[in-house]
Structure 1
Amino acid sequence: MIAEWKKIEKKQFASVYLIIGTEDYIINETKKRLVANILDAEDTDFNYANFDLDETAIEQVIEEAETIPFFGDRRLIIAANPSFVTTEKAKSKIEHRTARLEDYLNEPVDYSILVIIARVEKLDERKKLTKLLKKQATVIDAKRPNEAELKKWLQEISNTNDFQMDSVATDRLIELTGGQLTTVMNELDKLMLYKLEERIIRVSDVEGLVVRSLEQNIFLLLDKMIALDISGALSIYYDLLKQKEEPIKILALIASQFRLLTQIKLLEKQGFSQQQVAQKLKVHPFRVKIGARQAKSFSYQELTATLERLAEMDYEMKTGYGDKAQKLEWFLFSLQDQKQKQVK
């Protein structure tokens, strides 16, 4: 995918692109690069068209692609949601004359670039049109990268921009952003801008500059709890309160994370790999990796008992029983006491 981006920036365009996947960052960046390198600012209004195939028939898209450019060299035509090559059910009753697309794929015009975006994990490979489309188009994979792919990607982007970022800083950047690609890339851009003169990104830069989400602060809070660092856990908790986060919301996220740990523990007992757990629970693989690490510090019985206690606290908070902020403080202390007894 990065190789295709480089070709686009060198103005080495394919006649037809097929983007397959659900990762918005890759889809949006590909579109942005195509627009920037194909169209001049003054002819965008005349030579750019964007269609939703749930609302527009494919033959209309092809007609647009076959229209000669107006005041420019090329036209850029983007069409999303091609249900006729997926297993997804169409959202409308529009009938597509896909034979027009087949004809176009076999003989595309040289003055238009057609981009078809399928926001699905994979196409319906049984269909003849799918095979033809994949054969004739330049395919860009917009799937969510796994951790190893993401690390390699970050290193490559850093090197391309003449920055140095070691593996410790890379790992920390991924951890603090939860492995979410759009967030990772936004934070990397910010880090590169901040370190523009030195061009070295250290783990201290990552920890000092990367904005943590509420969910990420909860992960870190649990890490502190598991490490019996009660002062560290309370520091994060008090910071969240200063940011006007409601104790009941913090409690809900803590409960959600313990629920995830319980599910991971159960599925790992049944022999599921972390990748399979992520697919089964429909959560980001990086969350499962962190959760699996945290779950090792608890037995299944401890996790279920903690969930019961959190449910009781949730009920007490919602019914106005006791001080909400103080309840979570005592929960942190009680969890530490529980873990210290185990160590002894």
Structure 2
Amino acid sequence: MKFNEFMGALRKEIPHVCLLAGEEHYYVDKAVDAMKRRLFPDGAGEDAIERVSGDMDIDQLIGLVETVPFFSDKNVIIVQEPPFFKAAGGKKKDTQATDFAKGKKTADKKMTRLQQLIASPPSFSYVIFLMKEKPDKRKKITKAVEQAGLILEAEPVRAWNINDWLRPKLRALGKELDRDAYEYFLNAISMMQQISLSYLDQEFDKIALFSSAPRITKKEIIEVFAGLPEVSVFALVDAISAKDAQKSLALLMRQLSDGTYFTVLLALLARHVRQLWQARLLMAQGVRGRALAKPLELNPFIAEKLGQAASRFSDTQLKDAYLSLVDADYLMKTGQGGNELLEHIIIGLCA
């Protein structure tokens, strides 16, 4: 289940077994913190939580779960990167996973005992399995956890589904974004190659701390992204999309004078040209408007806007620009070219 659904389930009843899996550590960390608060409301006893490696022998893990706690009424165990949830033949060669995949009797018996324990854990024990990869849902052990407890699928947040994080965050703060602020936020997110929810969470908390107004303004959102070079170049990309050569060149000079490295500009321009090209290819196949969002992994509003911009360019124009950016990357890094290469590419795009 997704994060919001998982947190809703936690409010009803704390499960004795949980699997928190996925690349988005922000959601995993939040889920662990929520479980700790439910298990230890006053904080007393948290220091008794045991963290163990997933490489631990299964019999030892079973013994740990079945051991009655001495200094607390709860036995909480966090198991890091257990290999037995992974698909056979994964990236890591773990002894347990290999043994189980080969069907060795010893491993099979151990896994059966662990499955039985998960199905009926001691009333005093709580086991939290953590892993960065997706679990293999076909495995009996995964199905056992799903039936007896909860599984969180912490998938990375992308620009196209950022509202899954934004809406509950604003609700928790008792805030809302005004229209201009929301549009700027979506545009800024679309420029980020990797979205850090931890960073956004912290910055939105700061806004709530220093402002009592119910609405967050565009000015406040601009300040949130001010320190991120990939977002500060957004105005330049927007001017190129509008084919405004004069404004584009002026913004390029401002970025360079502000100290933005040419490598950052090259990467972001190449990404934008690639997105425009992809949008044109999709539109040629009949995919238009907000339907561009999913294949491009963009927010529907931004995808529609990108599609409108893509229609202003020709395939040849975008192909030439992309190849020129690749050449410029080599020439500028080897000292054989300067900022004039970027100027030439931008002029070509705005023609």
| Matched residue, 2:270 | 255
SS of structure 1 residue aligned to 2:127? strand
| Matched residue, 2:104 | none
Evaluate the alpha carbon distance shift between residue 172 and residue 91 of structure 1 in structure 2; reply closer, same or farther with a 3 A threshold: farther
| Matched residue, 1:211 | 226
SS of structure 2 residue aligned to 1:204? helix
Note if contact 1:51-1:80 (Cα within 8 Å) is conserved in structure 2.
yes
Note if contact 2:160-2:293 (Cα within 8 Å) is conserved in structure 1.
no
Letter in 2 for 1:112: S
TM, length-normalised to structure 2? 0.77
Matched, 1:310 2:321: no
Match of 2:341 among 320, 327, 341: 327
Letter in 2 for 1:33: A
Q: Distance in 2 between matches of 1:174 and 1:62?
A: 47
Note if contact 1:176-1:212 (Cα within 8 Å) is conserved in structure 2.
no
Q: Distance in 2 between matches of 1:158 and 1:276?
A: 24
Deviations 1:89-126 (A, max 9, x none): 243223552123212122112222211234334x4333
> For the aligned residues, what is the CA RMSD?
3.4
Match of 2:171 among 129, 154, 159: 159
TM, length-normalised to structure 1? 0.78
| Matched residue, 1:199 | 214
Q: Distance in 2 between matches of 1:203 and 1:302?
A: 34
Displacement of 1:317 in angstroms is: 2.4
**Where does 1:20-39 land on structure 2 (aligned, <5 Å)?**
20-39=21-40
Evaluate the alpha carbon distance shift between residue 160 and residue 256 of structure 1 in structure 2; reply closer, same or farther with a 3 A threshold: closer
Deviations 1:105-158 (A, max 9, x none): 22112222211234334x433333332221111232322456675425423332
Note if contact 2:279-2:306 (Cα within 8 Å) is conserved in structure 1.
yes
Q: Distance in 2 between matches of 1:52 and 1:293?
A: 51
Letter in 1 for 2:130: I
The gaps in structure 2 that reach 5 residues or longer are 100-106
Could you list the runs of 4 or more consecutive aligned residues of structure 1 that deviate by over 6 angstroms after TM superposition? none
The gaps in structure 1 that reach 5 residues or longer are 279-283, 339-344
Q: Distance in 2 between matches of 1:331 and 1:148?
A: 29
Moved more, 207-216 or 301-310: 207-216
Note if contact 2:293-2:299 (Cα within 8 Å) is conserved in structure 1.
no
Aligned residue-pair number:
326
SS of structure 2 residue aligned to 1:114? strand
Q: Distance in 1 between matches of 2:283 and 2:64?
A: 52
Q: Distance in 2 between matches of 1:314 and 1:220?
A: 22
| Matched residue, 1:300 | 315
Q: Percent identity?
A: 23
Displacement of 1:262 in angstroms is: 2.8
| Matched residue, 2:185 | 173
Note if contact 1:82-1:117 (Cα within 8 Å) is conserved in structure 2.
yes
Letter in 1 for 2:73: D
SS of structure 1 residue aligned to 2:222? helix
Deviations 1:55-86 (A, max 9, x none): 32343333322233343332322224344333
